[in-house]
């Protein structure tokens, strides 16, 4: 999650535990809504991510960022990436970690054209505040704007969840079984304002 139960309870000045299940559901749903709005993976996953990209562009835009590390960048017309030769970092490409971009070198050069012919294996994302275990080297803590955005949205969701007649909708965010949100629920304007510049486009 992009914020913790403790943070949300402090934000709302709640001391009792009676609402913990509702607040946790609100945080989970708010986190998913923000990730969907930004069209990216925000939280770090301790595993390699593999993505394929079309060529003919100067930059490959990863799903998760900031980029923590790049294991390989490979090209294959036949999609035999296991047998393909990896490109060389800082010679063939440059990683713009904070924007999730892998630029072809020299800058402005296009990656060789082809449909889904480029494969990138990497790790990326921020270390979430509720993460368990030791933070890996190179992984940045979640920036404050995401925490604040989650708290604002979760507070709004909590208000909606406690309204008379509120109907829980399952499966809208995070798959079946997850507490969802009313069909007309959107990110509040203040949350959208915080997330300007953080969307993957």
Q: How far apart are CA 189 and CA 168, in angstroms?
A: 22
**pLDDT reported for residue 174:** 42
Query: Nearest CA to 37 among 201, 159, 179?
Result: 201
Residue 171 has a pLDDT of 42
pLDDT bucket at 170, cuts 50 / 70 / 90: very low
Give residue 29's pLDDT. Answer: 93
Identify the pLDDT of residue 19. 87
Ordered strands of the 59-61 beta sheet: 59-61, 101-104, 93-96
Q: How high is the pLDDT of residue 169?
A: 47
90 phi and psi, to 5 degrees?
65, 0
Whole-model pTM? 0.86
Look over the chain and give the mean of its residue pLDDT values, rounded to a whole number: 90
| DSSP 3-state percent helix, strand, coil across the chain (nearest 5) | 30, 20, 50
From residue 28, give the alpha-carbon distance in Å to each of 8, 88, 149, 179, 191. Answer: 12, 39, 13, 8, 15
Question: Residue 39: is it exposed, middle or buried by C-beta count within 10 angstroms (0-12/13-18/19+)?
Answer: exposed
DSSP-assigned beta bridge partners for residue 74: 86, 119
pLDDT digits (tens, 9 = 90+) for 20-38: 999 999 999 999 999 999 9
* Alpha carbon distance 102, 61 (integer Å): 7
CA 89 to CA 174: how far, in whole Å? Answer: 35
Is residue 164 scored above 70 in pLDDT? no
């Amino acid at each position: 999650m992009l914020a913790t139960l403790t943070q949300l309870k402090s934000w709302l000045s709640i001391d009792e535990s009676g609402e913990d299940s509702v607040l946790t559901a609100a945080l989970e749903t708010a986190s998913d809504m923000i990730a969907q709005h930004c069209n990216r993976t925000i939280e770090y996953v301790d595993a390699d991510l593999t993505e394929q990209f079309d060529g003919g562009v100067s930059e490959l835009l990863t799903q998760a960022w900031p980029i923590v590390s790049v294991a390989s960048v490979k090209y294959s017309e036949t999609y035999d990436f296991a047998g393909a030769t990896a490109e060389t970092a800082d010679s063939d490409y440059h990683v713009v970690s904070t924007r999730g971009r892998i630029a072809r070198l020299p800058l402005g050069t296009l990656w060789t054209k082809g449909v889904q012919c480029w494969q990138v294996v990497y790790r990326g994302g921020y270390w979430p505040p509720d993460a368990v275990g030791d933070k890996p080297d190179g992984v940045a803590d979640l920036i404050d704007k995401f925490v604040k955005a989650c708290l604002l949205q979760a507070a709004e969701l909590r208000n909606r969840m406690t309204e008379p007649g509120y109907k829980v909708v399952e499966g809208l965010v995070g798959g079946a079984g997850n507490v969802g949100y009313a069909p007309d629920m959107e990110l509040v304007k203040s949350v959208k304002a915080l997330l300007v510049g953080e969307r993957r486009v």
